[in-house]
Amino acid sequence: TKRKTDIPSKCLSLFVPDPCAAPPVVGPCKGVFSRWYYDSKTGDCQHFQYGGCKGNHNNFLQKSDCINDVGGNTLQVI
């Protein structure tokens, strides 16, 4: 039986969901940090308050960072 560590890293991306489709995660810490996340339902970057720990990859310092990062990852529905 193959373990996850036996799979080449480039193949793991096939099993990891798109981080920009993930909801924002505030995390359990008590900090209040202004951050941005990509909202896949609205197709836009939205503001949220991040607690400072245990978030996910859908967490950007600036709206422009969010737009630049997800700009090439989104699909346009025609």
pLDDT of residue 55 exceeding 50: yes
Contact between 48 and 78 under an 8 Å Cβ cutoff? The reply is no
Domain count, the chain: 1
pLDDT, residue 4, reads 46
Report d(CA 54, CA 14) in Å as an integer. 23
CATH number of the domain residue 37 falls in: 4.10.410.10
Q: CA nearest 50: which of 26, 28, 29, 22?
A: 26
Q: What is the DSSP letter of 66?
A: H
Please give the pLDDT value at position 60.
Answer: 96
Q: Is residue 68 part of a domain?
A: no
Amino acid at 47: H
The predicted pLDDT at position 18 comes to: 79
Domain presence at residue 20: yes
Token pair, residue 23, equals 């909801």
Q: What tens digit of pLDDT does each residue of 4-48 get?
A: 445 454 544 455 567 888 999 999 999 999 999 999 999 999 999
Q: How confident is the model at residue 76 (pLDDT cuts 50, 70, 90)?
A: very low
3-state secondary structure of 47: strand
Query: Is 31 a member of any domain?
Result: yes
